[in-house]
Amino acid sequence: MANAIYIINGPNLNLLGQREPGIYGNGSLDDIKADCNAFASKLNVSIEFRQSNHEGMLVDWIQEADKKARGIILNAGAYTHTSVALHDAIRAGSVPVIELHLSNTHAREEFRHKSYISPVAHGVIMGFGGDGYLLAIRAMCTLLDSTNSL
């Protein structure tokens, strides 16, 4: 989808609704995708929604989005805290990236406090569950509109 906003999801997010609902909620990733599509439609923007458990696939999609998308919303899951490869892929690109997390990672285990994505992201949204995706879409639209008016 040319000019779409890519929403890229990392490992274990396919297990939403089953995995630790006290942290991640009861909704599935398909529920979040449906909410994102409905919200994006109201804003008259298109999204490309993807999920993979494989780090290299996420890197490929970030590189693809740099050529085909207007921006990236990235929930890298656990790769947030480990992946120099994702950091480098974002840094090499030119489209804005918003880092997204369902939970507040700073209120969790110490190892989740470090992000390799934050230093190369335009902003971070965390702790709002599935609604964080809608906040990120709104923020990306605002960011893109302000960039277009420069």
- pLDDT tens by residue, 73-123: 999 999 999 999 999 999 999 999 999 999 878 766 686 678 999 999 999
DSSP 3-state assignment of 126?
strand
Q: Please say whether the beta carbons of 14 and 43 come within 8 A.
A: no
Instruction: Find out if CATH 3.40.50.9100 is the number for domain 4-148.
Output: yes
Q: Please say whether the beta carbons of 79 and 11 come within 8 A.
A: yes
pLDDT band at 18 (very low <50, low <70, confident <90, very high): confident
pLDDT (tens digit per residue) in 31-73 = 999 999 999 999 999 999 999 999 999 999 999 999 999 999 9
The residues annotated with a catalytic role in the active site are: 24, 101
Name the residue ranges covered by the structural domains of the chain.
Answer: 4-148
**Residue 102 backbone phi and psi in degrees, to 5:** -65, -45
